[in-house]
Amino acid sequence: MTAVPAAAQRVAGDLELHAAATRPDLLTPAVLAALPAGAWVCGIDPAVADTAALVEAAGVPPDGSANCVVVSGRREGEERVAACVVLATTRADVNSAVKRALDVRKASFLPVDRAVTESGMEHGGITPLGLPAGWRVLVDGRVAAAAWVLVGSGVRRSKLVVRGADLAGLPGAEVVDIALER
């Protein structure tokens, strides 16, 4: 068995990491199919799936955690949907940077029920891995530059630990400065 890299364990806090490919029970089929080599997964209590709760419950550092939010906007009658990945210490700049990246007049968060239904993932577990074809993935430069980040796994009962560069290399991913400090 491969040893967990120290930097990967740091972003997982007190959580026990497993090679993600060995724990398909903790992932959706679409996420499992999209896993980059070297990804790790950890089981969590679904009640602490939200970042702030997980930081408190498991000693996960906020600067090593990434959030994925789904936004949309319209241009000339065409809806443009994107998953935006930003560090938990920042927030997606939906009204400016994301709007520009999507080339829309107004961008807004996709309603939760739509994001869940269309992504095939659970609220609180949406991740940039395994998203529907055609969705853009906007990865903030700080996430792309991170050695490792903790992100959703598609379900509330686990989290993934992946390299920032692997998120930046996902199909449809674009590295764009889309985050503002909290």
Residue 59 has pLDDT above 70, yes or no: yes
In this structure, what DSSP letter does residue 66 have? Answer: E
Q: Whole-prediction pTM value?
A: 0.96
Whether residue 137 is contained in a domain is answered as yes
> Can you tell me the distance from the alpha carbon of 2 to that of 150, in angstroms, rounded to the nearest whole number?
19
Whether residue 1 is contained in a domain is answered as no
Residue 58 has pLDDT above 70, yes or no: yes
Whether residue 59 is contained in a domain is answered as yes
> Can you tell me the distance from the alpha carbon of 149 to that of 164, in angstroms, rounded to the nearest whole number?
6
The type of residue at 50 is D
Whether residue 134 is contained in a domain is answered as yes
In this structure, what DSSP letter does residue 24 have? Answer: G
Q: Which among 50, 28, 51 has a CA at the least distance from the CA of 41?
A: 28
pLDDT on residue 2 = 81
Whether residue 83 is contained in a domain is answered as yes
pLDDT on residue 80 = 96
In this structure, what DSSP letter does residue 131 have? Answer: P
Mean pLDDT on 11-34: 97
Given pLDDT bands bounded at 50, 70 and 90, which one contains residue 172?
confident
Total domain count, the chain = 1
Host domain of residue 82: 6-181
3-class secondary-structure state, position 112: helix
Whether residue 35 is contained in a domain is answered as yes
Whether residue 148 is contained in a domain is answered as yes
Contact status, residue 58 vs residue 13, Cβ threshold 8 Å: yes
Residue 1 has pLDDT above 70, yes or no: no
**CATH number, domain with residue 128:** 3.90.960.10
User: What would the pLDDT profile of 91-145 be if each residue is shown by its tens digit?
Assistant: 999 999 999 999 999 999 999 999 999 999 999 999 999 999 989 999 999 999 9
